[in-house]
């Protein structure tokens, strides 16, 4: 059975409260043929609704956002779509952040100053792991 290009793509949701960050990530990641941007959200509550609507494989999730922060959103998202991979995308370099992320169902933590090619690699690595079928 041949897989279509669409089936080989990693579906990504970008969640950040800063317009420039969201749009820059969308523009940068859209250049990769194996990444499909399925949505943008500006807070955790909006992210949960987008997960229900678009079933992403990977979510790039800012931790500090209004309305519902990334850590709280991650917990709810994993209940809706337990196989969706979550990258905590943060500018905080506080060791407490790493500890908090260990208590929340986040798959990876990365700093916002990560090189785009490293972020692309991380998205593909997480998004193409075996048995990743979002349950939403």
Domain that holds residue 62: 9-127
Q: Answer with the residue of higher pLDDT: 95 or 77.
A: 77
Encode pLDDT of 86-125 as tens digits: 999 887 665 555 555 566 788 888 888 899 999 999 999 9
Counting the structural domains of the chain, the total is: 1
What integer pLDDT is reported at residue 8 of this predicted model? 74
Which DSSP string do the residues of the chain spell out, in sequence order?
Answer: -PPPHHHHSEEEEEE-S-HHHHHHHHHHHHTSTTEEEEEEESSHHHHHHHHHHH--SEEEEESS-SSS-HHHHHHHHHHH-TT-EEEEEE----HHHHHHHHHTT-SEEEETT--HHHHHHHHHHHHTSTT-----
Does a structural domain hold residue 101?
Answer: yes
Does a structural domain hold residue 4?
Answer: no
Q: How much is the pTM?
A: 0.85
pLDDT of 72 > 80? The answer is yes
How many Cβ atoms are within 10 Å of 94's Cβ, its own excluded? 9
Encode pLDDT of 54-63 as tens digits: 999 999 999 8
In the block, residue with structure tokens 């079928």:
133
What integer pLDDT is reported at residue 103 of this predicted model? 66
What integer pLDDT is reported at residue 7 of this predicted model? 53
Domain of residue 20, CATH code: 3.40.50.2300
Encode pLDDT of 8-63 as tens digits: 789 999 999 999 999 999 999 999 999 999 999 999 999 999 999 999 999 999 98
Q: Answer with the residue of higher pLDDT: 127 or 6.
A: 127
């Amino acid at each position: 059975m041949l897989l279509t290009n669409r089936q080989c793509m990693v579906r990504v949701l970008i969640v950040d409260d800063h317009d420039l960050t969201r749009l820059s990530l969308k523009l940068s990641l859209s250049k990769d043929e194996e990444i499909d941007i399925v949505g943008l959200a500006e807070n955790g509550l909006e992210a949960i609704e987008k997960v229900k609507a678009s079933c992403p494989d990977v979510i790039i999730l800012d931790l500090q956002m209004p309305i519902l922060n990334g850590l709280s959103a991650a917990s709810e998202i994993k209940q809706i779509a337990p196989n969706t991979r979550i990258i905590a995308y943060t500018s905080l370099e506080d060791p407490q952040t790493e500890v908090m992320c260990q208590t929340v169902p986040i798959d990876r933590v990365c700093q916002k100053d990560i090189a785009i090619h490293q972020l692309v690699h991380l998205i593909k690595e997480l998004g193409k792991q075996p048995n990743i079928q979002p349950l939403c």
